[in-house]
Amino acid sequence: MESIQIVLIIGLVLMGLINAASLIWAFYLDHRLRQKPVPKVYETHIDSAKVFKESDIQAIENIARGQLEQVMQDASVTLQKAIDDAVGKLATHASELGTHTLDKTFDKYQADLQSLRDQSVQDFAKMQAELNDRRTQLLQQIDQKVVEQYRKRLDEFDTRLADVVSGYLVESLGNNVDLGAQRAYIIRMLEQHKDDIKKDMLA
């Protein structure tokens, strides 16, 4: 956008300069025409006889004036044509320059936009992946915590249950004892520890 503006400004400045130059040129030509040496009129007082007649002088002046106007008109046409050509060329060049610059800028803009879009997509994808990972980690941690809590509670419950049941069993087994039923167990225990018992008793 800035390039286009610069080009347009330059074009306007150039057109202004050309117009100014045309005006200056026109004033210059006009000035030159006005400064053309006017045939000196030698006032001769020939009282008796005049060189040119008044009508001839008038005719000559008309012819000179017509020639001057023709020259000015030709110069003006030529200048107008030159200005038109210059303006046309300038407009064409400006248009080409603008189009080229616009296309280039637009392509660059599109490329930048695409790059930005790709970058954004990558960033979002990366962010999404990180979020998914984090979410997975959190879910795993939560699951782990839940399992740990469950096991801890279960262990506590098992410990209490074991205490209650073992206490009840020990208390119950102490009543209405049948040593005959324990005889096999006692003998088996003695057999298992026979060597140690012998060593301790004979020590």
Least distance CB 178 / other proteins (angstroms): 8
CA 179 to CA 173: how far, in whole Å? 11
Which of residues 54 and 178 has its CB atom nearest to other proteins in the complex? 178
Q: Which of 142, 123, 120 is nearest to 131 (CA)?
A: 123
With left for phi above 0 and alpha for psi between -120 and 50, is residue 50 left, alpha or beta? beta
Least distance CB 165 / other proteins (angstroms): 5
Least distance CB 148 / other proteins (angstroms): 18
Q: Which residues bind other proteins (CB under 8 A)?
A: 157-158, 161-163, 165-166, 169-171, 173-175, 177, 179-180, 182-183, 185-187, 189-190, 193-194, 196-198, 200-203
Which of residues 104 and 193 has its CB atom nearest to other proteins in the complex? 193
Which of residues 43 and 171 has its CB atom nearest to other proteins in the complex? 171
Query: What DSSP state is assigned to residue 106?
Result: H
Handedness of CA 13, 19, 24, 25 (dihedral sign): positive
Which of residues 48 and 172 has its CB atom nearest to other proteins in the complex? 172
Q: How far is CA 130 from CA 61, 121, 122, 135, 141, in A?
A: 98, 14, 12, 8, 16
Least distance CB 152 / other proteins (angstroms): 14
With left for phi above 0 and alpha for psi between -120 and 50, is residue 38 left, alpha or beta? beta
Which of residues 75 and 173 has its CB atom nearest to other proteins in the complex? 173
Least distance CB 162 / other proteins (angstroms): 4
